[in-house]
């Protein structure tokens, strides 16, 4: 494998984190090289204050009229330096892109060679969604009661306005508690797991995910 990375890492998450940190550093270097390339191209362009061609035209025009002007040698050196910078930056960018691709390939292999580890981790996170779903469902009652309280206070305000002979306020009907919970149950019924059903144990899904077998349509005993 590229760069001799160890794919069956003792801590795959830590190994990937280190590689992603390295890739982030490459991205910073790439941004710097891209800026340098853009600056060099400005010098080699035909317009703008940094353009060597434009500076040369201004200098020659001033010389023709006997006026002070920028040294043509300085302009020529800037143009030569810009040509060299373009070649160097392009080579540097190619190297950085190649290194970034290597890192991406290493991360892919680490994930593939540690499927059991990542499947277990994903299973635990999926179990956590069941807990957060239960907490969110319980919060619907609190939300409903808060809506009722607020609506009641607005009702008193409407009554006061009518008592004063003022135009009534528009009213939005509050969704009933059953509908709130029913909608929530519908949109959160399927857990974020392949097939939408969790097995009884972590081992069941790990044994399937970490082997070259078809994913079961249903789990026995689940």
Question: Over the stretch 57-71, which tens digit does the pLDDT of each residue have?
Answer: 999 999 999 999 999
User: Quick one: 44 and 60 in the same domain?
Assistant: yes
* Contact yes or no for 158/168 (Cβ under 8 A): yes
Give the integer Cα–Cα distance in Å for 187 and 184.
5
Tell me how far apart the terminal alpha carbons of the chain are, to the nearest angstrom: 40
- pLDDT of residue 48 exceeding 70, the answer is yes
Mean pLDDT of the chain: 93
**Which pLDDT band holds residue 172 (cuts at 50, 70, 90)?**
confident
Residue that terminates a domain, selected from 87, 113, 139: 113
User: Quick one: 91 and 13 in the same domain?
Assistant: yes
User: Quick one: 108 and 6 in the same domain?
Assistant: yes
Q: Which of 180, 188, 183 is nearest to 148 (CA)?
A: 180
User: Quick one: 120 and 109 in the same domain?
Assistant: no
How many domains does the chain contain in total? Answer: 2
User: Quick one: 90 and 131 in the same domain?
Assistant: no
* Contact yes or no for 198/127 (Cβ under 8 A): yes
**Which pLDDT band holds residue 220 (cuts at 50, 70, 90)?**
low
**Which pLDDT band holds residue 134 (cuts at 50, 70, 90)?**
very high
User: Quick one: 99 and 154 in the same domain?
Assistant: no
Specify the DSSP class assigned to residue 167. Answer: P
Residue-wise pLDDT tens digits, 74-97: 999 999 999 999 999 999 999 999
pLDDT at 1 (0 to 100): 45
**Which pLDDT band holds residue 28 (cuts at 50, 70, 90)?**
very high
User: Quick one: 143 and 191 in the same domain?
Assistant: yes
**Which pLDDT band holds residue 222 (cuts at 50, 70, 90)?**
very low
pTM: 0.77
Domain that holds residue 14: 2-113
User: Quick one: 6 and 107 in the same domain?
Assistant: yes
pLDDT above 70 covers what percent of the chain?
95
């Amino acid at each position: 494998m590229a760069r001799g990375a160890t794919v069956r890492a003792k801590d795959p998450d830590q190994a990937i984190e280190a590689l992603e940190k390295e890739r982030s550093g490459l991205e910073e270097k790439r941004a710097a090289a891209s800026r340098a390339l853009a600056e060099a191209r400005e010098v080699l362009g035909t317009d703008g204050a940094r353009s060597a061609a434009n500076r040369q035209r201004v200098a020659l025009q001033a010389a023709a009229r006997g006026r002070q002007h920028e040294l043509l040698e300085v302009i020529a050196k800037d143009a030569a330096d810009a040509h060299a910078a373009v070649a160097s930056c392009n080579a540097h960018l190619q190297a950085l892109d190649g290194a970034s691709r290597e890192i991406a390939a290493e991360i892919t292999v680490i994930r593939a060679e540690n499927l059991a580890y990542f499947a277990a981790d994903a299973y635990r996170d999926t179990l956590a969604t069941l807990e957060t779903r239960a907490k969110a469902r319980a919060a619907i009652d609190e939300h409903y009661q808060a809506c009722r309280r607020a609506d009641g206070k607005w009702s008193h305000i409407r009554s006061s306005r009518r008592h004063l002979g003022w135009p009534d306020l528009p009213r939005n009907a509050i969704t009933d508690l059953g509908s709130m919970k029913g909608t929530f149950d519908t949109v959160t019924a399927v857990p974020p797991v392949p097939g939408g059903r969790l097995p009884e144990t972590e081992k069941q899904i790990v044994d399937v995910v970490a082997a070259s077998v078809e994913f079961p349509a249903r789990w026995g005993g689940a």
